Structure 1
Amino acid sequence: IRLAEELEPDVILMDVTMPEVDGVEATRQIKIDLPQIKIVMLTMHADQEVLAAAIRAGASGYLVKDCSTDEIANAVRMAFSGETALSPQLAASMLDEVRKLDQPSAEEDRIITKREEEVLQLIADGLSTPEVAEQLFISQKTVKNHLASIYQKLDARDRTQAVLQAVRMGIVHLD
């Protein structure tokens, strides 16, 4: 940090792992006082959390130490030009993370809750409201509440329509 203040270089190659202050914190401190300096981080590990922290701290690039000298030189040139430099393996890993963000989890993808699915499957199996309540150790009123929610979610008027819609959607199966 002291050297950056004394020398004011255009670009700094910063190791993530350093004694006293880590590279991310050093980057943050340098960027506060000297925002014009571009910083390219070097690391041993392709850690997404550290990468994100480095970017938030103001790093202009992030390279894994096993990259070639040509890649390092190119990253320095890119940072100097105002571009972002990223190791290919980090870029691929980052793209995978972004893709995961767009994919709903199994729970988010679900139209009805697991409990509603259990109720609906028992109805599809031919059980009455009192039998479903007994099987699931819940009250008949709770079964009716689940059914009302199921009807609304599946746009059904009664249990027959709900079961048919659920079968079409693959939510329940007829044995």
Structure 2
Amino acid sequence: MSGDPIRVVLVDDQALFRAGIRMLLSSQPDLEVVGEAGDGREGVEVVRRTRPAVVLMDIRMPVMDGLAATAGLLADPAAPRIVMLTTFDLDEAAARAIRQGASGFLLKDADPEFLLAAIRSVHAGSEVIAASATRELFARFAEPVRPVPPSYRELTDREREIFALAARGLSNGEIAAREFLSEATVKTHISRILSKLALRDRVQLVVFAFEHGLA
């Protein structure tokens, strides 16, 4: 695979779990584990030192939990993509982490191929990890609907159509097929939507849609 490998940091308090994930990722030519940590505080230090593209962050850890570590890392404009690791499919802590800027969540017992695909997807920004589960998560832990901000009204009709499909968790390829567009055109539309709405990534688009009653 061409290009530099995707740099990944693992933050989890279970050494055996980290070892298994490290072995899995190290078997892939396009992925590279550049650091790991056993608690959130150490994780923040490792991430700031190694500058990975993607962080796999356990939610529940000693010293500093994954929520606090994620909040600290996301205060940096150049923060990596952070994927939360949880043992519960409907975890309120995962919803909170995503609302504060995490790029998705994965179950710790996820299929290895799904985990690998998720890391690549979140790095590429082309789709939402476990889109249906993410939507279910926010439907379960819904917050009071906020007024639609003026920035949404700045979207063109076409951008609103793309927004609605992306909010349902459709990937670039799925939107392209549905709207008879090229994936490159969809990617351009998504980039403009995220820019206009000041959103970090596609999962934040899903959060925005739920928070403002647009899902």
Alignment TM-score, normalising by the size of structure 1: 0.49
Task: Kindly indicate whether structure 1 or structure 2 has the higher relative contact order, using CA contacts under 8 Å at least 6 residues apart.
Answer: 2
Greater Cα radius of gyration, structure 1 or 2: 1
Normalising by structure 2, what TM-score?
Answer: 0.41
